[in-house]
Amino acid sequence: MKKRLLSVILVLTVCITMLAGCGKKETEETNNKAETKSETNQETKEPVDASKYEVKEPITIKWWHALEEQYSHVVEKVVNDFNSSQDLITVEAEYIGSYSDVNEALVAAHAAGTGLPGVVVANTPYVAEYGASGLTEDLTPYIEAAGMDMNDFGLGLVNATSYEGKQVSVPFLISTQVMYYNVDMAKELGVTIPAKIDDMDEFLKSVSKFNADGTTDVYGTIIPGWDQWYFETFYLNKGVNIINEDGISTDLDSETAVEVANMIKGWCDNGYAYWATGQDASSIMRQNFIDKKAFSVLHTSSLYNTYVDKCDFEVGMAWYPGDKTNNSEVGGCVLLVPSKNDQDVKNASFKFLEYLVSEEVNMTWATDTGYMPTRKSVLETEEAQKFLAEKPAFQAIFDNLDLINPRIQHKAWSQLAEIWKSYMAETIIEKMDVKEQMGNMAEEINEVLEDQ
Amino acid sequence: MDADVIKQKPNKIKKRTYFTYAISSAKDFTCVLPALVLLAIFTYYPIVEVIRISFTDWNLINDSYKYVGFKNWEWLFAGSGTKYLLNSLKITALYSLGEIAITLGGGLLFALLFNQITKTFSVLRAVVFMPRYVAMSSAAVVFLWILNTDNGILNYFLGTLGLGKVDWLGNKSTALISVLILTGWRAIGYGMMIYLSAMLSIPKDYYEAAALDGANSFKRFWKITIPMLSPTTLFLLVTTFISSMKVFQSVDILTDGGPYRSTEVIVFMIYKYAMQDFRMDRASVVAVFFFIILLIVTALTMKVSKKSVNYDS
């Protein structure tokens, strides 16, 4: 057993290192260019004066986060440990709300130039938008001054947190999309989660249950319609370019994209799947799964602990079915320092940020939340072995770590996502013509992409 | 000499009057100056700024911007913005009609029901009026649970009556109604109180004279109460109209403008462009257009009211 665990850890280590290779070819090329550029810069650049980034006076900084109530004990412990570990910096943690709430609050504070936090979390797709606008501090010199080893994160995560070769953020709590399922039900029905998207129809039909009046008693799955991150993987794995290489157009009206949308709509029309949308959609989805009203749900791997704690049946975690590719996308959040802060605040903030992503704290986050360890060195520790032993369902992720891609980065991504979610919900719930809707949607998205 | 004095007197008086008038005006102006300064800073300056921003490409996340002429106006009237503007105008108008109907119609109905000065009715009036003092944010969160499809108390009661579950907030046809249910719960007591106070001030003699002339209760209500309440009705109409145009919090908490923009009232549309997409340019152009519409509608209301409202008492 120990040998097996060790081998898993070794595979994991190799996979994280390979995360960069999971992206598209052009991403790889860009990375190489960035690396070469960075190397060239390093050759010619003067060494960073570390004294510029030192904290000399006592200071209090704020940390804005999106970790909900169930994680409050971890937040409290980590912040207290940091505060008591040194005398100069006092951190005050503030729960702001969801990632979009944090985004709104951060941009408003940035525009006003006051009330900015020292350190803040940001959902992974915001990195490009923040980097392009200069909202984030370029952390490269701080990292150099502190001697922080960014290679320990794996190139994929480093890319997901950089903008044009600048390290504008640092990987923090990382997750990916998975399908949670009721293992007891699966055993009873003798089914396994399909590996191919095209087999989903039959699979969902076999696990769904219907009442005498034709209404659904148990849904095959629930699709979170409130966040396109959960369904965009189906499109990507079918080969749809959500943003084309030109950066100003989408392929979401292509034949393949229409086919995927039709397929999802078909699941919902037949009562096999439930499209969860609206303000309380997430809690409704969770409750349905806990109440055995759904065989499976598509959700983030970070909620593994929550599902296991709440369900009175064995919870399985499966990789999404694939097609041309079998990829998933990195989720969760990064840490950044707003650029409009004073230098003293920035220096203190970086010290705290460094602590939050340090090896010793990295494993605390992974163990006490459902997020994955992000440092390669951490995976070689005893705690990491224990983590795998305690959460065997994570095997589904560890087996596919090299397939986790960085998110699509575009300045207009959040606008695109809003339009996409709205059209998908309307098409499915109002049973509208998919082709026509996707055409109208693509037109609107193209207009948004062009107008940047 | 005397004649000169006599001749000079009126001029002196005249000069003194102008001087006194100027001093008095300056004093008056000094008194209103702080209010004017605040008004200029917090009302007129933002209006000018919003108009200016509507001609730029300012994204809230960027510090710099450039002037783009009528590009945003083109987007609003001849681009993808038109569809959403028309949608929001329609929803805002429907919401406004709903809120006016509930506040005025419901308020009048409750005022007629509770138009008696007894302890029981006082308690009942307090019960109906109390929701007005519950913060909209708190009320909206409670209604989020009342209207929950699977665990909401409203669907539970419908179930006991043998009716099926309604996806109140997730369905296009019921989402706006759900927002109006919350609005009605808070606004109806306010309408009732305003109408009640107006009803109590109608002289009893009118009703006694009408009764002597043989008018039945409906006729007395129609011919006396309604005309006598017209200034109150106008007041409620204008204030409710303005407040309904500004609706935001209930929509934000209950539906977030959804499902698929079916509750996206115009203020929420502005907020969405400004604070979710950070497109201050687009948000500003919608805001300016909305400001013009409100200005026209308010002016028309005031003009119509002069002709049809009875201020005699």
- Number of folded domains in chain A? 2
Are B209 and B96 contained in the same domain?
Answer: yes
Closest CA–CA distance from residue B252 to any residue of chain A (Å):
9
Same domain? For A171 and A225 the reply is: no
| Statement to judge: residues A441 and A336 lie in one domain | no
Q: Residues A332, A173: contact at Cβ < 8 Å?
A: yes
Count of beta carbons in the 10 Å neighbourhood of residue A239: 14
Assembly ipTM:
0.75
Residue B53's pLDDT is 95
Comparing alpha-carbon positions, the chain B residue that sits nearest to A278 is B170
Q: Do A100 and B276 touch (CB under 8 A)?
A: yes
A116 and A13 part of one domain: yes
Closest by Cβ to A107, choosing from B60, B148, B172: B60
User: How does residue B8 score in pLDDT terms, banded at 50, 70 and 90?
Assistant: low
d(CA A323, CA A325): 5
Same domain, A43 and A70: yes
Residues B43 and B118 both lie in one domain: no
> Which of the pair, B118 or A320, is modelled with greater confidence?
A320
- A140 class by beta-carbon count within 10 Å (0-12 exposed, 13-18 middle, 19+ buried): middle
Residue B58 lies in a domain: no
Distance CA B313, CA B311 (A): 6
Q: A354-379 burial by CB neighbour count: b if 16+ within 10 A, else e?
A: bbbbeeebbbbbbbbbbbbbbbbebb
Longest Cα–Cα distance of chain B, Å, equals 106
Mean per-residue pLDDT, B172-189: 93
**Residue A243 maps to which CATH number?**
3.40.190.10
Residues A50 and A40 in one domain: yes
To the nearest whole angstrom, how far is the Cα of B250 from the nearest Cα of chain A?
12
Task: Identify the domain containing residue B174 by its residue range.
Answer: 71-308
pLDDT digits (tens, 9 = 90+) for B214-260: 889 899 999 999 999 988 998 899 889 988 999 999 999 999 898 88
Q: Is B29 helix (H, G, I), strand (E, B) or coil?
A: helix
Residues from chain B that touch A430, judged by Cβ atoms under 8 A, are 172, 260
Q: What is the pLDDT of residue B20?
A: 86
Q: Could you tell me if A208 and A220 are in contact, meaning their C-beta atoms sit under 8 angstroms apart?
A: yes
Asked whether residue A290 falls in the same domain as residue A414, the answer is yes
The DSSP secondary-structure symbol of B101 reads I
Amino acid in position A228: Q
Q: pLDDT band at residue A282, thresholds of 50, 70 and 90? A: confident
Residues whose CB falls within 8 Å of the CB of residue A111, separated by 6 or more in sequence, listed in order: B60, B61
Query: Do residues A297 and A434 share a domain?
Result: yes
Q: What is the per-residue pLDDT for A398?
A: 73
Residues A352, A423 share a domain: no
User: If you average pLDDT over residues A3-12, what whole number do you get?
Assistant: 45
Judge: B80–A288 Cβ closer than 8 Å, yes or no.
no
Contact A133 B62 (CB under 8 A): yes
- Say how far apart CA A169 and CA A337 lie, in whole Å: 8
For residue A86, give the DSSP letter: -
pLDDT tens sequence across A30-66: 344 444 444 444 445 567 777 888 898 999 999 999 9
Mean per-residue pLDDT, A339-361: 93
Residues of A with CB under 8 A from a CB of B: 100, 104, 107-108, 110-111, 129-130, 133-135, 277-281, 284, 287-288, 414-415, 418, 422-423, 425-426, 429-430, 443-444, 447, 451
Task: Give pLDDT, residue A52.
Answer: 85
| Chain centroid, CA A128 distance in Å | 14
Comparing C-alpha atoms, which of B209, B208, B212, B206 is closest to residue B224?
Answer: B206
User: Based on the domain organization, do B140 and B45 belong to the same domain?
Assistant: no
Q: A325-334, B87-96, B301-310 — which is least confidently predicted? A: B301-310
Q: Count Cβ–Cβ pairs < 8 Å, chain A vs chain B.
A: 75
Q: Which residues pair with A120 in a beta bridge?
A: A64, A336
**How many other C-beta atoms lie within 10 A of the C-beta of residue A334?**
26
**Residue A273: which residues within 8 A CB-CB, separation 6 or more?**
A204, A219, A220, A221, A222, A223, A264, A267
Residues B47 and B175 in one domain: no
- Note down the domain range covering A166: 2-175+330-405
Whether B303 and B222 share a structural domain: yes
pLDDT reported for residue A69: 85
How close A33 gets to chain B, by Cα (Å)?
27
Distance CA B152, CA A281 (A): 14
Same domain membership, residue B185 and residue B144: yes
Q: Residue B158 is part of a domain; what is its CATH number?
A: 1.10.3720.10
Q: Are residues B156 and B255 in the same domain?
A: yes
Same domain, B43 and B171: no
Same domain? B133 vs B6: no
Highest mean pLDDT among A19-23, A170-174, A345-349: A345-349
Segment (H or E) for A190:
none
Residues B25 and B173 in one domain: no
The rounded mean pLDDT for chain B is 88
| Average pLDDT over every residue of A92-121 | 93
Mark whether B148 and B184 lie in a shared domain: yes
The pLDDT score that the predictor gives to residue B14 is 58
Q: Is residue A112 domain-shared with residue A219, that is, in the same domain?
A: no
Residues B76 and B157 in one domain: yes
Inspect the interface and report whether the beta carbons of A443 and B80 lie closer than 8 Å: yes
Of the listed ranges A69-83, A245-259, B117-131, B162-176, the least confidently predicted one is: B117-131
Same domain? For A195 and A154 the reply is: no
Domain count, chain B: 2
Statement to judge: residues A130 and A31 lie in one domain: yes
